[in-house]
A and B are shown apart, each in its own frame.
Chain A
Amino acid sequence: DQQVKQNSPSLSVQEGRISILNCDYTNSMFDYFLWYKKYPAEGPTFLISISSIKDKNEDGRFTVFLNKSAKHLSLHIVPSQPGDSAVYFCAAINSGYALNFGKGTSLLVTP
């Protein structure tokens, strides 16, 4: 039973435009949400996170928005760059040890 869902397997965006990656979750007990970025043949690397008590967290070009009532979060990348092309995983945790991951969205930023 997938508790974290990324319904778009892929996204293509032009360089300089905004990339918006979406994530939905079903477990209202999740207290932290994280985004990881993964290049081929490498392990995922942490990108940005947000606590369930906040609705926005910003770090440079990356902003994560959380809508608890809709159980939805999104990652905005502005402006998008070709080096942002990667698979992005949304993850959530419930005061415990293990992350619940979505299936990932493959982002392609074209010049």
Chain B
Amino acid sequence: DVKVTQSSRYLVKRTGEKVFLECVQDMDHENMFWYRQDPGLGLRLIYFSYDVKMKEKGDIPEGYSVSREKKERFSLILESASTNQTSMYLCASKTGTASYNEQFFGPGTRLTVL
């Protein structure tokens, strides 16, 4: 079974802090994704990566950066956390580019920025 794990289930940070969210997958997937989920807004794509050291902006990249130094690990960085980044953050991975290939999600990190 594919397993996508996220470093924290719950995280509380202060405004202005630098925040790292880590995601690891164990199925050698090429593609990894970061989404945020907010009530009434659904899942919105922040960044994705289709290979090591490669990244692409999603729909809402502002205020975020990412790092993919190893195939299994994809990190989301909030350079200077703000209260409007309080959200549920979801990491996902997928093999190949075929549309029918399923994305597998991690359990999510509930981030609160005070």
Contact = CB atoms under 8 A, between A and B. Distances in A.
Contacts of A6: 42
| Chain B interface SS verdict (over half) | strand
Interface residues of A, number: 26
Given A45-B105, A97-B48, A9 B100 contact: no
| Chain A interface SS verdict (over half) | loop
B71 interface: no
Interface stretch (B60-68, B77-85, B106-114): B106-114
Size category, B interface: 20 to 34
B99 A31 contact: yes
Contacts of B42: 6, 89, 101-104
A111 interface: no
A44 B40 contact: no
Given A32-B100, A43-B106, A44-B105, A98 B48 contact: yes
Interface of B: 4, 9, 31, 33, 35, 40-45, 48, 50, 56, 58, 90, 92, 94, 97, 99-100, 102-108, 110
